[in-house]
Amino acid sequence: MEILVLLKQTFDTEAKVTVKDGRVVDDDVTLVINPYDEYAVEEALKIREAVGGTVTVLSVGPARVDEALRRALAMGADEAVAIEPPADADEYVTASLLAAWAKDRKFDLILAGNVSVDTGAGQTALRVAEALGLPHVAAALKIEIAGNTATVHRDAEGDTEIVTVPLPALITAQQGLNEPRYPSVPGIMKAKRKQIARLSPADLGVDVAPKTAVTSVYQAEQNRLNKMIAG
């Protein structure tokens, strides 16, 4: 089974968010693999362990995403690829780049996160499925592969839907799918020696302009009464 995981690097969920000059400041912020994408990596590894094959992780992001990709390699992924983000990339641009890379590579299964915990549009993975003409199942809580069919338990607003989908397909991970492993020491050593390929949009022949623009960013304010009532 050839498996591709779409992985985004995000702010750590504890990170303090500061807005300066209309931008979220990202110096000195701890960056992690988007938690949902970590479930996707774990699931890919589990499926590979069960049926064999390879796991490739792919990310659109600046040089620092290598750190997240290297962690996925240390968890056990076979190969990692980064794509340089064009300025002001939006979900349309990001998905176009991811799809362009995946298009001719014949993956049986593409796993991704349900949503990113930072800018959180929840669009990118589903756009990739559309661009590739693949069926998708979102918010998976359980995935079983038998032959060319995946049976997926998915979270549908609190209810669980059990659906089948023919492969190749794209499936996004919901919390509860699995418990991601920690990289082992040998895994970390092995990952250190691996090359992470970096491509530009031009390498992929993709030249698309963003469809959306961010016009302002501002900090949330809290105005709470803070009235205490004796218990």
Partner 1 sequence: MARNILVVAEVRNGAIRPVSFECIAAGREIAEGGAITAVLLGQQGVDASELIRRGADRVVVVKGDHLANYTPDGWLSALQQVYLQEKPDVVLMGHTGIGRDLLPRFAMRNAAGMISDAIAVKVEGGQVVFTRPIYAGKAYATQVVKDGLIVATIRPNNVAALEADPGRTGDVSEAEAASVHLRTVVKEVVRKATTGVDLTAAKVVVAGGRGVRSAEGFKPLYELAEVLGGAVGASRAAADAGYCDYALQIGQTGKTVTPDLYIACGISGAIQHLAGMSASKVIVAINKDPDAPIFKVADYGIVGDLFEVVPLLTREFKALLG
Q: Could you tell me which residues are beta bridge partners of residue 79?
A: 56
Nearer to partner 1 by Cβ, of 87 and 230: the residue is 230
189 φ, ψ (degrees, to nearest 5): -60, -45
Angle formed by the axes of helices 65-75 and 35-51, nearest 10°: 30
> Residue 217: CB partners within 8 Å, gap ≥ 6?
19, 22, 23, 24
- Given a contact cutoff of 8 angstroms between Cβ atoms, the answer to whether 95 and 19 are in contact is no
> Which of 4, 196 has the CB closer to partner 1?
4
Among 56, 124, 174, 178, binds ligand FAD (CB under 6 A): 124
Rounded CA-CA distance 93/60 in Å is 10
What DSSP state is assigned to residue 58? E
Q: Is residue 172 within 8 Å of residue 111, measured between CB atoms? A: yes
Q: Which two tokens stand for residue 201?
A: 């949009």
Q: Whole-angstrom Cα distance, residue 174 to residue 165?
A: 17
Span from 32-40, 130-138, 143-151, 180-188 in contact with ligand FAD (CB under 6 A): 32-40
- Residues binding partner 1: number (CB under 8 A): 70
Would you give the binding string for partner 1 spanning residues 72-111, x where CB under 8 A is met? Answer: ------------------xxx--x----------------
Bond before 135 cis per omega within 30 degrees: no
Indicate the residue among 146 and 209 with the shorter CB distance to ligand FAD.
Answer: 209
- Residue 59 binding result from partner 1, ligand FAD, none, given CB thresholds of 5 to 8 Å by partner type: ligand FAD
Pattern 139-178, binding to partner 1, x per CB under 8 A? x-x---------x---xxxxxxxxxxxx--x----xxx--
What residues line the site for partner 1 (CB under 8 A)? 11, 13-17, 19, 24, 35-36, 90-92, 95, 117-124, 126-127, 129-131, 135-139, 141, 151, 155-166, 169, 174-176, 210-220, 222, 224-231
Q: Which residues bind ligand FAD (CB under 6 A)?
A: 6-8, 13, 34-37, 59-61, 85, 88-91, 94, 98, 112-113, 115-116, 119-125, 214, 217
